[in-house]
Amino acid sequence: MASSKVTFRIQRFDPEKDEAPRDQDFQLELEPGITILKALNKIQAELDPTLALRYSCGSAICGSCAMKVNGHARLVCKTQVSDCVKDGVLRVGPMGNLRVLKDLVVDMEPFWDSLDKVKPYLAPDPAQAAPEKERLQSPEEFLRIDPSTTCILCGACYSDCNVLEVDKSFVGPASLAKAHRFIFDSRDAETTERLRKISEKTGVWDCTHCGECSTRCPTEAKPLERIEEIRVKAMTEGHHGNAGARHVLGFRETVGRRGLLDENYLPARSVGFFNIPGLLSIIPVGLRMMKRRKNPPLRPHSIDKVDEVKKTFARFEELRK
């Protein structure tokens, strides 16, 4: 097959010279089947040795080479150039939600700090004697954590997380997926404490379900799915003293039992009816909604096919019990 000419539009930034990031174009004649990482190495070796990028294994194992391709995070070592070229151009930039050190290299410290918050290591029961060989686990028990163990900590999900764009205190999807790996580990003795801490503000309930993390994840870790499983387990084990859990319970009360979508009830139910500071904090939001005529009707409206909705919730209650 014939080679093709591709323009790589790479975001450059040198803090010692540049006031702001800029784009620089490089044209390459490439053979079919080449990865973006190999193309970047070619640019660095043949066109501009000052181009800074980070990589290591080149085999989608270490996670070092995550960067943005056409606006979305990917591992460039496993991504074909031919899959991403649009009208002869391929855009490459550094990961998002992290400070750029130079060109395509970002400061990963906030990512590692967020990971540290979930204690990403096994905490066995101290009352049990240490085994002579290893702590046994059945195949069925391992299958519960198998997806989350595939996380390679590349940071692609962190890069494209919409919550982190507006709230840097959010623990982040990778950390939540890693927390899942220990919350559901049959050998860990701190499940209850892990669930309690992760249910607090900036934890598992702050995810907005945009799905970007799972879409960008290069493995089977798929953070959004792990977040949903953590939420179910937290609710099942009674960790209800937080806004996210109260919102779920309020939704079940108004929709499941009454067949109504009561949007005035849910905010107060979420912050807590006796939480005076919390109730006061949502008043400005309500006033802005009224000013812009976005406030929900005082009389909640019935849900379409309400009987089917009630049957679904009734069936769920039977299964839950």
Q: Can you tell me the distance from the alpha carbon of 263 to that of 268, in angstroms, rounded to the nearest whole number? A: 10
User: In a 10 Å sphere around its CB, with 0-12 CB exposed, 13-18 middle and 19+ buried, how is residue 75 labelled?
Assistant: buried
Residues of the chain with CATH 1.10.1060.10: 109-236
pLDDT at 306: 81
The CATH code of domain 4-106 reads 3.10.20.30
pLDDT at 2: 57
Provide DSSP, 216-281.
H-SSS--HHHHHHHHHHHHHHTT---SHHHHHHHHHIIIIIIT-EE-TTHHHHHHH-TT-HHHHHH
Q: Which residues of 165-202 are buried (b: 16+ CB within 10 A; e: fewer)?
A: eeeeebbbbbbbbbbbbbbbbebbebbeebbbbbbbeb
- The reply to whether CATH 3.30.300.20 applies to domain 109-236 is no
Residues of the chain with pLDDT under 70: 1-2
pLDDT at 1: 44
Residues of the chain with CATH 3.10.20.30: 4-106
Q: Is 10 in contact with 93 (CB distance < 8 Å)? A: yes
Kindly report whether the global pTM for this prediction surpasses the value 0.85.
yes
Q: Can you tell me the distance from the alpha carbon of 160 to that of 95, in angstroms, rounded to the nearest whole number? A: 8
